[in-house]
Structure 1
Amino acid sequence: DAADTQQTYTLSNICRIFNNLYANNHVGFCGSIKNSPSDFVVTEIDILGHLVSKTKTDSLSDLSEILSEQNSFSQKHHKRLRTTSLLEQCVKDEHCDDQYDNALQTSECLLSAKESKDCVAKPVPDCEMYVAVVLDSFLGKSVNELLCQFACNIKTRWSFKTEPAVYSTEFSLGPILDKKIRANLHSAIRQKYPFLMTVTKSSEIIVKENADYRELCQLVSEEETSDFLKFLDAKIENSKFTFNPDGNKEHRKAVHHFISKKFGKLLETKSFSVADCSDQQNVVIMVRFREKNCSRKRTADCQQKQELYTAFILQKENLETLEAIGFLSSELGVLPSDFSYTGIKDKKAITYQAMVVKKVTPERLKEVGSTIERKGMKVSNIHSVHQHLRLGQLKGNHFDIIVRDLKHQGNDTSANLKERISEAIENVKKNGFINYYGPQRFGQGQNVHTDQIGLALLNEEMVKAVKLFFTPEDTDDPVNQAKRYFLQTEDAKGTLAMLPDFKVREKMLLRALNRYGVNCEGCTRGWMSIPHSMRIFYVHAYCSKIWNEAASYRIKTYGTNVVAGDLVFSQVNVDENPSLSDKVHVVTTAEESANKYIIQEVVLPMAGHNVKYPNNKVGQQYHKMLTSDGLQMCRFRVPALQLNIPGCYRHILKHPHNLSYHFSDDSVKEIGTGDNHLDESKDSLCLSFGLDPSCYATVCLREIMKCDL
């Protein structure tokens, strides 16, 4: 909530919070970043690895919809438009025109077929292109090829009745922590290989042969078996499946019995007499999902199905993500909590990120386009989806950054500037950088940092947290005037009148304070009046500060050696339902001696109630830091604010992806890579790279430049 300043962010200012520690020993150079928002462009990378500014649809939600809808073309004619739009969203690609045409023709054929309770069209064949997208994107080429080989081996063993000892009966995809990715993989694998089944053991997906497939193949054809299992996996509400006509009553009875025995809780079957094209009567078995009534216990689930969600790409300039949401919620007449997103983006930048808003139609969102442009925002790729986004539901972020005012470090004259820059970049490419949380996590340049508010909340000092929240900056703009007035008078109603409308968080908190008073109860109700994602943001900022201090202590104490007591991610699953602390392994003395692990594998915990701390001096330092902040009795749960912080783990070192660079002559706007001697007054460095989720470009730049030396 700091007032927007026009100052240039220099790397020397950013570096002060990191104790002058680095992962590399090059000299570095000086420069400035964020001279203007266009010097720092951030583009979110969705879960499929696409830049969101170039993605036509919201990858996760639409892809999930495709996988679940690909067998539902046999539904009633009134769903024709919806089915066609799904195909159009996902098949409109210059390399798949034939598949698009074939899919449309198939859907038209099915939709125009005779539709009655006695005759239901069979499912459409697999939409193989989309299944391939999921498997390639989430598994990678090598694992996908191994999965294909495993599937072939299963079929070979069945065909030649080979003993199980010849081929493995299970195949592991390894630990996959994101539940949404696991769900997509389960569906994609079962659609492509219906003779296989998938199960989750902890976070690991295990693939093995489907015994039900083999058993059903003894009763019906292999094609019918595949189609039936795909229908079953898709679980489309109100969808139906019919087996081929069958005049043998005993055989039909066996099929009924098989489905009842295996899937009776989910499915129901019935035989129908239908007429074929020559009016001959035949009997078919129809399968459908059992109806589920919305009981009182399921009221919330039923309401959720009826919720309206609209996805879009938000482009913002010189705005915090939460501030942009404040503007949007005010214009659309919804709550800030109705917006979901995968992560918070830089303020002093131009950023592109995926968002979903609840209770707003695409048409309504388009109507406010011209209004929000005046606030530095644009919305694009507006379309309906069926669910919200979650924090961390992305593959990372791509950065295009210009570093200006390039200079040598101090009196460094041992090499020319271009050599220094190239050396620095190549070192970070090779060795990575210390994965600190960046200064924007804490409110760089503010009088009160967000981690201070988070600590007060964890200690349940609600009034103190409110006072810190309303601490003004040194500027005299209307927002800081209002904050200053509140601290002097505690007049919540008067402060409300002074604040501009876009300060949504402040206004929500003040309304509660006006109603309940500036006391412990009133302040608690005030914090509860703002969205959960905003409340927990401050607590996470405190945990981030502790992680940064622990990382600095770890590097100073042990360097880049992996020592006994360090934590690495576990390679084996402890049991069926492991806790978060079971996901890491404590390095033993024998493993240290054998150099079994490298520093890139070491993780440190984000403080929480369900994490394991290092079993060495670093763990002791964690407890010392938490105790000094009065948190020795805190279990990282604040029931009064409905905050539950289990914690997580974060790698000490990270590497940038696809790092490239060139030099630009600012005076003529041309690339000047041919000259080995840069003009310090004219030349700028243009960098392009990607980072994993929750990694900070400013921290990567800090490692490259070392401008605080």
Structure 2
Amino acid sequence: MTCVFSYIEAGFDNVLFLPLLPSGVSKNILDILIMKQVSEAVNVPACFISNHEGFLGSIKNFIEDFVVTEIDIYGQHVNTAAATQTPGCASSVGNDRTNAEYKEDSHSSASQDADVPLDWGVHDPLPSLGSLDLGVILGQSVSEELEQFVLTLRDKNPPELELSLGSFADKHQRASVHRAVRHRFPFLMTVTIQPEIRVREDPDYRELSQLVKEDEAEDFFRFIDAKVRGSSYTFGPDDNKEHRTAVHHFLNRRFGKLVETKSFNDQGRTSISVRLRERGRPKKRTAEERKDDEVYTAFTLCKENLETLEAISYMAAALGVLPSDFTYAGIKDKRAITYQSMVVKKVSPQRLKEKNAEFQNRGIRVFQVRSVSEPLRLGRLQGNHFDLVVRDLRPHGAGDTHSSGGDVHTRLAALVKEAVENVKARGFVNYYGPQRFGSGQSVQSDRVGLALLKEDMVSAVRLFFTPEEGDDPQSHAKRHFLQTDNAKESLALMPLSKPRERLMLRALNRYGTGPDGCDQAWLSLPHSMRIFYPHAYCSRVWNEAAAHRLTTMGHIVRRGDLVWLRQGQNKMEDARETSMAQIHVVTDKEEQDGIYKLEQVVLPMPGNTVKYPENAMGTWYRERLVRDGLEDCRFRVSSLKLNLPGCYRPLLAVPHNLRYQLQRAASREGGRTMAGSESLTLTLNVDLDSSCYATICLREIMKCDP
């Protein structure tokens, strides 16, 4: 095998080796990022595994030119009736990956002690004022010591100052202490380290008192502590809109689960009103309600020109459930007709069928609808079947275009046969395809992922909202946000068909555009959407590693390479990327004896559980991560509940059941058929293992970006 190292004009696959954005993203990021011009597209290095000549052509001229059909774990195409007959079509594994809802911690100003119920005041009678007498509860000496502690706080404001109020063995007594202290001194917080209770200044109070008058801050905290359902508190008049916005953002960020805020105008003056949400103890659910939660409906989804997550967001809104209630085996291409299995929770088969007509207006169709007992697990598939059409075939060589039509067609037929046979026999470099990075976007998803791994949430948000060239509604809304920082106005401009952008803008409007607000914006996305971006970065590193491995170490297995010992593993699903594979480090003797083949070599996708090659590639990985400022990265973003263990991905991929057919077709230009002119069209049918990309297979066949 020969490695042909060539440079291909960036286009269909321009995401593989683009330089990464510097780590420091400034406020004027818009000015930097929209400078990308098509004419300035960088060249992309591509390392091919075989040395045939290839040919030129174009794909995805029409939506039906690219059809993807999922192959389930039993080897059935999911759009056939046989796929619904296999038992156990859903997995028993829980769907942790697609948990959409961030369970934000309830902020209880009354206490950080678990002994104090968060809904005290909703169902239980409030203590009498006499029961809040600190002299009675704490004793006179401790009460006086607390008064002195408060004076010290007010006069000197020393950092991290605490006072112990003593130990209280009885749970109800501790609750009385918490409430009495908070009623008398709303700016203090009580912390229990059982059985001891300590007090310190409440940082939330300090922050609020810098925004409003001190007596308003104290009254507000007393209002919060009382927890009288449906009650409200109104701050004094404030005609400064920017200042009111800062107050709204603070209240929503720190107390959003407890209260709702709004501005209202009274006699020409504007004030902020805060209302306690109508929430109490969770209502005891009936057996029928619990049964509804255990309903699982499986179906086959057909979508056209839609992302999988975009289709899920639309269906979830129409059905009144969360995007996380949908489970699936894998993400499918956007610019294609795709068929895939899905399971939705809390929706009956009849209800799903009733929505089909509404779905079809958005390029979505559901069929083979049936009840199952469990959700579907990510990765539970053998692979995907592709039906591809490559139009307007032409030889690479310019000289061939001057030959007669018959000669060119004969030469093309020979080129296609050689290319297909080579790839059948040798496979292709198993690069991640452009879908992994957001092909055609001004800022690729891997750059967003790098910012998230660095826990630079503000830069990640601004990269996410970088507009494309042109003035389509989505780009206009993104550009408006970057220029004005006004999430509310940008949300009004953002098309309804962009669920991710709208979710984030809603959160930014509620929590602000600072670091905390950007945290909440990312948390507003389902887990499967959040994890996509760090995965894109790690995929990019893997792509670069694959090209570096082949160009610097050749096509034989070297000492220190990692190989996958596929003992007893012959099925297609066993060939997919996995972190469970049996990984072996090649020894000197094994290299000399040629024990292993290149098809067995795997490269790690960066993460916190993988091992790296014990040769020059291991050094390359370390230097590559250092270059991006990730030398100390744990590949875990706790604030976003993201963990990247990493995995091992085969260096080469092998197509299955690869078939092709050449047909003559009238040449088309600008959508019109050209009389008297014929071109060759190539139809390809192929099965690929999960996580392998048809566009990358085509790239190896054609030796160009199709």
Q: Which band: TM-score by shorter chain?
A: 0.5 to 0.7
Question: Could you tell me which of 351, 356, 379 is aligned with 1:364?
Answer: 351
Partner of 2:11: 13
Partner of 1:379: 366
Cα root mean square deviation, aligned? 2.7
Alpha-carbon spacing, 1:660–1:65, altered in 2? closer, same or farther (3 Å) = closer
Distance 2:378 2:439 in 1: 22
Alpha-carbon spacing, 1:376–1:682, altered in 2? closer, same or farther (3 Å) = same
Partner of 2:305: 318
Question: Could you tell me which of 684, 693, 697 is aligned with 1:687?
Answer: 684
Q: What is the letter of the counterpart of residue 46 of structure 2?
A: N
Distance 1:584 1:614 in 2: 10
What secondary structure is seen at the aligned counterpart in 2 of 1:609?
A: coil
Q: Deviations over 1:37-86 (max 9, x none)?
A: 100000000010000000455577635799xxxxxxxxxxxxxxxxxxxx
Partner of 1:337: 324
Partner of 1:498: 493
Task: Give 1:306 shift.
Answer: 4.8
**2:50 maps to 1:24:** yes
What secondary structure is seen at the aligned counterpart in 2 of 1:633?
A: coil
Partner of 2:422: 427
The sequence identity of aligned pairs, in percent, is: 53
Mapping 1:240-389, distance limit 5 Å: 306-389=293-376
Task: Give 1:666 shift.
Answer: 2.1
Partner of 2:74: 48
Mapping 1:201-600, distance limit 5 Å: 306-411=293-398, 413=400, 416-570=411-565, 583-600=582-599
What secondary structure is seen at the aligned counterpart in 2 of 1:630?
A: coil
Distance 1:445 1:688 in 2: 26
Partner of 1:38: 64
Aligned residues of 1:47 and 1:60 also touching (Cα < 8 A)? no
Task: Give 1:332 shift.
Answer: 1.4
Aligned residues of 1:61 and 1:386 also touching (Cα < 8 A)? no
TM-score (norm 1): 0.61
What secondary structure is seen at the aligned counterpart in 2 of 1:444?
A: coil
Aligned residues of 2:430 and 2:653 also touching (Cα < 8 A)? yes
Alpha-carbon spacing, 1:611–1:305, altered in 2? closer, same or farther (3 Å) = farther
Task: Give 1:359 shift.
Answer: 1.6
Task: Give 1:364 shift.
Answer: 1.5
Distance 1:571 1:32 in 2: 37
Alpha-carbon spacing, 1:61–1:477, altered in 2? closer, same or farther (3 Å) = farther
Task: Give 1:15 shift.
Answer: 4.6
Task: Give 1:590 shift.
Answer: 0.6
Partner of 1:62: 88
Task: Give 1:311 shift.
Answer: 1.0
Q: Deviations over 1:562-585 (max 9, x none)?
A: 000100124689xxxxx9588311
Q: Deviations over 1:314-362 (max 9, x none)?
A: 1111111111112212211222121111111111111001111112111
Q: What is the letter of the counterpart of residue 362 of structure 2?
A: K
Aligned residues of 1:309 and 1:386 also touching (Cα < 8 A)? yes
What secondary structure is seen at the aligned counterpart in 1 of 2:46?
A: coil
Task: Give 1:633 shift.
Answer: 0.7
Task: Give 1:632 shift.
Answer: 0.7
Task: Give 1:544 shift.
Answer: 0.4
Partner of 1:151: none
Task: Give 1:385 shift.
Answer: 1.3
Alpha-carbon spacing, 1:11–1:357, altered in 2? closer, same or farther (3 Å) = farther
Mapping 1:660-679, distance limit 5 Å: 660-667=659-666
Partner of 1:705: 702
Task: Give 1:442 shift.
Answer: 0.7
Aligned residues of 2:666 and 2:677 also touching (Cα < 8 A)? no
Aligned residues of 2:635 and 2:643 also touching (Cα < 8 A)? yes
Q: What is the letter of the counterpart of residue 366 of structure 1?
A: K
Aligned residues of 1:605 and 1:647 also touching (Cα < 8 A)? yes
Unpaired stretches in structure 1, ≥5 consecutive residues: 1-9, 67-298, 574-578, 670-678
Alpha-carbon spacing, 1:572–1:439, altered in 2? closer, same or farther (3 Å) = closer
Distance 1:581 1:47 in 2: 18
Q: What is the letter of the counterpart of residue 395 of structure 1?
A: Q
Distance 1:366 1:657 in 2: 35
Partner of 1:205: none
Distance 2:586 2:651 in 1: 15
Partner of 2:191: none
Aligned residues of 1:313 and 1:382 also touching (Cα < 8 A)? yes
Bigger fraction of residues in helix: 1
Alpha-carbon spacing, 1:535–1:61, altered in 2? closer, same or farther (3 Å) = farther
Aligned residues of 2:91 and 2:375 also touching (Cα < 8 A)? no
Q: What is the letter of the counterpart of residue 648 of structure 2?
A: Y
Distance 1:385 1:32 in 2: 41
Task: Give 1:638 shift.
Answer: 0.7
Q: What is the letter of the counterpart of residue 696 of structure 1?
A: Y
Task: Give 1:12 shift.
Answer: 6.7
Aligned residues of 1:404 and 1:683 also touching (Cα < 8 A)? yes
What secondary structure is seen at the aligned counterpart in 2 of 1:662?
A: strand
**2:652 maps to 1:637:** no
For this pair of structures, how many residues does the alignment match? 452
Partner of 1:655: 654
Aligned residues of 2:662 and 2:680 also touching (Cα < 8 A)? yes
Aligned residues of 2:90 and 2:373 also touching (Cα < 8 A)? no
Aligned residues of 2:667 and 2:677 also touching (Cα < 8 A)? no
Q: Which runs of 4+ in 1 moved over 6 A?
A: 302-305
TM-score (norm 2): 0.61
